[in-house]
């Protein structure tokens, strides 16, 4: 069984749905995700319970167990360039079986794959990804399954939502009224199941703060610059910069 899972690091991961997969006891999974969370959190839970046989991922990240199992030969890993992974998911959701890209030509990424030349440049053929089950985290959803996402927690979630034969979404807010069509990111046509996300602390892999007493930067400091998160209700006033990924 192949599952595609949204998120980047621990940002925007469908934590409740990952725990539900763990509790189901299903084994022999192939997981498609940017990375595998960290030890004991996110998709790291499925590695700890030995439910994953293969991973399609962009990088190992902060998960030591992921790295060790890969190096020991206990876990099959297909490393996919991050942009290629995003496009493979998009292609699968759009009904595109395959596409050519110059990324990875002449590297191990292209081994065993068709390579063609167009206008004097070589391209490798990559297959679109369609998962049996897609797990998504959204910020807001309406009764029709229309979804919006919050800042960088959007990441891979819209792509994953379209790439599943069955797509299950956990949403932080279930709206009483239909969402404004102009703000909808993922149309409800792609959503098969919708559940409320449980309130939880949003973990990050690495917390970096300026040294105590250090002079602030010229730009206005982000909320929580002293290590504390934004106060309740102030989140929308302090979006994560585009260069970051934690939210």
- CATH number for 10: 3.40.1080.10
pLDDT of residue 221: 46
More confident residue, 236 or 62: 62
- What are phi and psi for residue 63, nearest 5 degrees? -90, 105
d(CA 191, CA 53): 27
In a domain, 72, yes or no: yes
Q: Are 20 and 193 in contact (CB under 8 A)?
A: no
Give the burial string for 113-129 (b: 16+ CB within 10 Å, else e). eeeeeeeeeebbebebb
In a domain, 223, yes or no: no
Residue 222: pLDDT above 50? Answer: no
Number of other CB atoms surrounding residue 74 within 10 Å: 11
In a domain, 186, yes or no: yes
Q: Which of 201, 147, 202 is nearest to 171 (CA)?
A: 147
Q: How confident is the model at residue 20 (pLDDT cuts 50, 70, 90)?
A: very high
Number of other CB atoms surrounding residue 208 within 10 Å: 7
**Domain containing residue 188:** 1-200
Give residue for tokens 């504390």.
228
Cβ neighbours of residue 67 closer than 8 Å, sequence gap 6 or more: 60
Number of domain units in the chain: 1
Q: Which of 94, 160, 158 is nearest to 132 (CA)?
A: 160
Mean pLDDT on 27-40: 95
Question: What are the residue ranges of helices labelled H in 49-129?
Answer: 64-71, 82-94
Q: Are 87 and 103 in contact (CB under 8 A)?
A: no
pLDDT tens-place string over residues 54-64: 999 998 878 89
In a domain, 172, yes or no: yes
pLDDT tens-place string over residues 189-221: 999 999 999 998 877 776 777 777 766 665 544
pLDDT of residue 209: 76
As a whole-number percent, the residues of the chain with pLDDT over 90 amount to: 78
Partnered with residue 148 across adjacent β-strands are: 140
Q: How confident is the model at residue 242 (pLDDT cuts 50, 70, 90)?
A: very low
In a domain, 106, yes or no: yes
Q: Are 46 and 74 in contact (CB under 8 A)?
A: no
Q: Which of 206, 61, 246, 214 is nearest to 43 (CA)?
A: 61
- Mean pLDDT for the chain? 89
């Amino acid at each position: 069984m192949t599952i595609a899972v949204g998120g980047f690091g621990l940002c925007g991961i469908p934590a409740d749905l990952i725990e539900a997969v763990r509790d189901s006891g299903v084994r022999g999974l192939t997981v498609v995700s940017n990375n595998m969370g960290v030890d004991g959190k996110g998709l790291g839970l499925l590695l700890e319970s030995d439910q994953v046989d293969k991973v399609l991922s962009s990088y190992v990240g902060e998960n030591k167990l992921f790295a060790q199992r890969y190096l020991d030969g206990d876990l099959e890993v297909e490393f996919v360039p991050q942009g290629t992974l995003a496009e493979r998911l998009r292609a699968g959701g759009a009904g595109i079986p395959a596409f050519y890209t110059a990324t990875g030509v002449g590297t191990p990424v292209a081994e065993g794959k068709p390579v063609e030349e167009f206008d004097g440049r070589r391209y490798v053929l990559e297959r679109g990804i369609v998962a049996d089950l897609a797990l998504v985290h959204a910020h807001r959803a309406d009764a029709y399954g229309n979804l919006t996402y919050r800042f960088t927690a959007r990441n891979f979630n819209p792509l994953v939502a379209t790439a599943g034969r069955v797509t299950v979404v956990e949403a932080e807010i279930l709206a009483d009224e239909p969402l404004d069509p102009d703000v909808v990111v993922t149309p409800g046509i792609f959503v098969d199941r919708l559940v409320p996300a449980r309130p939880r602390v949003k973990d990050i892999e690495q917390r970096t703060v300026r040294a105590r007493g250090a002079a602030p930067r010229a730009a206005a400091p982000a909320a929580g610059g002293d290590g504390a998160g934004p106060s309740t209700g102030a989140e929308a006033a302090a979006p994560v910069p585009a260069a970051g990924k934690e939210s």
